[in-house]
Structure 1
């Protein structure tokens, strides 16, 4: 079941074709999300269809695009009605008790409500029941029966399977504000040109695309491609893909701009799904194309210079089938990293692509970091710094920590009252 971002009439601005959520979210440009209608479908959107986020750099507002390439080109869908509904973050798979969901945004102890939708409940869960998240990383989490169990890292034993019911989802109305109590230095280290990103899961040589939240960091360009040099599991440097020189970083001079993003550049071939990821490929279903590896080792299952038929999945994805057959070819490894291959149609259209790259698994597609994060604790004044916290004076909050060490004076799981400084 997906994590949902719910919205009402008041959250939709038709003139701008934008959503203006009242609570925080971790959506970033290019992120896939699925729309589910509430009291009625928004004209321009289809209930249950996947769209791609266009995030406003200065606020929580966002728009939707039909494809990832249109999202990065800021080409939004035009909206023309205002019912309520929600956007969900889909669960991709389950392994034992571990649930996979791209950029799920959940934190340990966060309350979730499961709804089975129009079919039987999945994974031995109970529809309508409240569960509690146990965060593993940005793409994996477990469920616990109580907040105490979640904090103790005692997950439920899941049995059965994901049923894929229509409208099946996990929702949460809990807003989680994160702060790193152990952060002793800024995220951007100008002296050593380091980015401190705990548990980044990147590997040495990974290519990433940088997208800022607001003003770009000094030394980096919005949309620029860089190569990751891993210093350790919590810190990286970014290098030029042209000359391998480390980027000379400069810390931000303005604060509260939100999270910056590093999009992992994966190969244009997903071997697990036999899918070619070719943005705006322009091929039609059944179109005949010729595959060329141009003297380099060919993709397993394909022959250099051979003709194949296109199975068009969408504007950015295709599969290939043998001539006269409807079954997709089971492609395998064989191409070498960074070699350029081509598909050429009989009408003259050509798409060049890179079937193999150095990159982590596809579950690591996005790394977020708050570039202007400063040490959160001021022990002398008993204050906690959380940029753009949006708390109101007297608001009730619950303190949760996940590393086994409470901040002195606070108790894990206890409720406190906010005093806004």
Structure 2
């Protein structure tokens, strides 16, 4: 791992002068459509710290959007990727294959839920994995319709934009989108009209009724859902919802796809978030945390479904790049050796405890409408006091105040009113608590 001291240090304004200078160069050379949460340019990163070009050290509560779960310079990832880099960088698995790709697929078969025979195909990004899961499901079922859910996020390619719920910034101006995509309700407990205790049963019944009446179950190739909805606001579907949808899929010959791109690989305190209610998906898509920051994604699933696509129908020039595969094997090694599932559960214990305390004791604590999430995938939803009206302005102000003090936090949510916390699973508890201290001070000034 990088030898960066695991302590926050703020030497300049955030961003500092060197970052400001680099931002000017970026503005001139990089397309405006590529945004950044915080224009602080990274020099090195590791553990729970990002060090910028001005020498500031920020506490990392973002993990590159749940990617660097093992840290941004994990020893096993660097060691294995460096060794592979020295041997060869690319041959294209579709031209001459290599062992690393096969070994990653073997690890995925071991780690993903279910004891049935499984196979995988490797790609570059989460969106690519989801898109290929749709292709595989259509090839297997010989059907075309795809069902997704309110508040879901599945990517930025044309098909995955159609699957994604939120318009701005993901879809605005980029249509027309792929056809045969249908959206149904999800059990968003905090906002369910009759309360969270009813959300699981009522939302699943409503979703199944809409699928049956408006699409026809016999026309549906796949139902795709994030077991914890990421960009939509870290929404954990109310208990009972996922099992009901999975049962409906099984009863009707529909491929049930768990999109675990943000929630997978120990992030929620289990290898995969769908394990929480014993869900065994037909297909599971992974990316983000899989390879310690190197670009890699996968579709893993029942062997007979994965084999439905004809030879040559799946692939891509860079899919399962050998250096990325080596990184993935290093990341999985780290997760096992350090028991990062246990680390994630401890992070949840610390964060939820502190966040609930903040909600209880702050005079403006009413702005925290909901504290939710699992493992190291925790969020607070901010509302106008005394209501459930989303408060995106307060969310942005809090994030800005945290950034100024050297704490990197991210926002999300359909209404832009959710602060999400995705610390690396290897973060020290002292840094975790210091970050929460900064957040508490930010609330006091709100």
Bigger relative contact order, structure 1 or 2 (CA pairs below 8 A, ≥6 apart):
2
Structure holding more helix per residue = 2
TM range, smaller chain: under 0.3
| TM-score, normalization by structure 2 | 0.23
| TM-score, normalization by structure 1 | 0.24
